Amino acid sequence: MNELTHNDEKRFSVLVVDDEPANIDILLGILKPFYNVKVAPSGHVALKVVQQFTPDLILLDIMMPGMDGFEVCKQLKTDRELARIPVIFVTALAQGEDEEKGFDVGAVDYITKPVSPSITLARVKTHLSLAHQMRTTEALVSERTKDLELSQQSAICMLAAAGHYNDTDTGHHIWRMSAYSKCLALSCGWSYEQATLLSQAAPMHDTGKIGIPDNILKAPRKLSDEEMEVMKTHSNIGYKILSQSTTPLFILAAEIALNHHEKWDGSGYPSGLRGKAIPESARIVAIADVFDALTMKRPYKNAWTADEAFDYIEKHAGSHFDPQLVNEFFAVKERILATQQYWFELEDEQIIPSMINFLPEFSK
């Protein structure tokens, strides 16, 4: 990356912190022709200044009354944003242990008093250039990351829609059950990041239905035994599609797609897994999926009330569902109902989500 030009330098600001007015005057004389310079006569004042004005670099005296430079630097580095500001110690200290301590608390360089104008300008320019390059790189990485996240979210929406493309009555089912899954995962102790990943993977649980014939998928009646066996293959089909990716999101989505019809007592499909042999992700999604399916109107049934659906979940704890997860589901009942209402209102207004951050704030 290019070094700073003279015109570039004028865009940058430097905070000089020193309790001696004479030292401040010297540094002002050196820096002011090139940089926007502000001053602070003590460590306490410096910490107040940076809350209102964020400099691009700090020249910091060490030996100051009240709060020395080491402590000032240490406090700066505890703040996520302020920690990014390069700090150069300006000091008469020349002992090796003092330099080591300075680097330990986060300084990037030392300038020894009495200061040399040429060395001061060179050090300041170098570290401003490095910091500028770092910020530019971070901004580029952030932009690329956002592009990748957008692409990933689009893929989620497309795969979720593909699984329900021929199922015109599901409405917002995949989004609602995803939000319920996130509520339940958070209640079970999942981190917010893990629960969010689950909510992104959950909408793809029925991706495999894309491989089920229309005459079975759209049948407005209870399926025959033979048809049901064909329908069951959607778990394996979804797994085969989603497991082609090795990213954490799609690994989790594949795990859910394969196992969300397994049952706690071992009577589910496709593998007849029992108890905790079923991945927790799939056990969570199973509860969320069934709860929402029960409360939906379908060609072959009317929508159940939320209370009826909760009763069903409770009745089948220990057989279909993990009993501990059922307890957690009831523990967040009010949150589930609030989330349900949120999505029902979106559906009434015919608002279709295009992205995956669809858990309302009250459910965080």
Q: How confident is the model at residue 338 (pLDDT cuts 50, 70, 90)?
A: very high
pLDDT band per the 50, 70, 90 thresholds, residue 223: confident
Backbone angles phi, psi at 13, to 5 degrees: -120, 145
> What CA–CA distances, in Å, run from 357 to 68, 172, 187?
46, 14, 18
Residue 15 pairs with which residues in a beta bridge?
A: 38, 58
Write down the mean pLDDT value for the chain.
85
Range list of H helices, 264-332: 280-294, 306-315, 323-331
Secondary structure E strands in the chain:
13-17, 36-40, 57-61, 87-91, 109-112
Query: What total number of domains does the chain contain?
Result: 2
Write the CATH number for 202.
1.10.3210.10
Output the domain CATH number for residue 10.
3.40.50.2300
Q: Are residues 127 and 192 in the same domain?
A: no
Residue type, 113: K
What is the arrangement of strands in the sheet containing 13-17, beginning at the earlier edge strand? 36-40, 13-17, 57-61, 87-91, 109-112
Per the structure, the complete domain to which residue 339 belongs is given by 164-363
Which of 74, 106, 139 is a domain's end point?
Answer: 139
The pLDDT of residue 219 is 75
For residue 147, tell me if it sits in a domain: no
Answer yes or no: is pLDDT of 134 > 70.
yes
Whole-angstrom CA distances from 129 to 103, 110, 204, 279, 299 are 19, 17, 46, 50, 66
Domain identity same for 237 and 185: yes
Residue finishing a domain among 139, 172, 189: 139
Q: Is residue 299 a contact partner of residue 220, using CB atoms and an 8 Å limit? A: yes
214, pLDDT greater than 50? yes
Last residue in a domain, options 81, 104, 139: 139
CA distance 260 to 284: 8
Residue 150 domain-assigned? no
Nearest to 102 by CA among 131, 76, 66: 76
Among 288, 99, 97, 96, which residue's Cα sits nearest to residue 206?
A: 288
The answer to the question of residue 174 being in a domain is: yes
Q: How far apart are CA 68 and CA 18, in angstroms?
A: 10
The reply to whether 181 and 227 lie within a common domain is yes
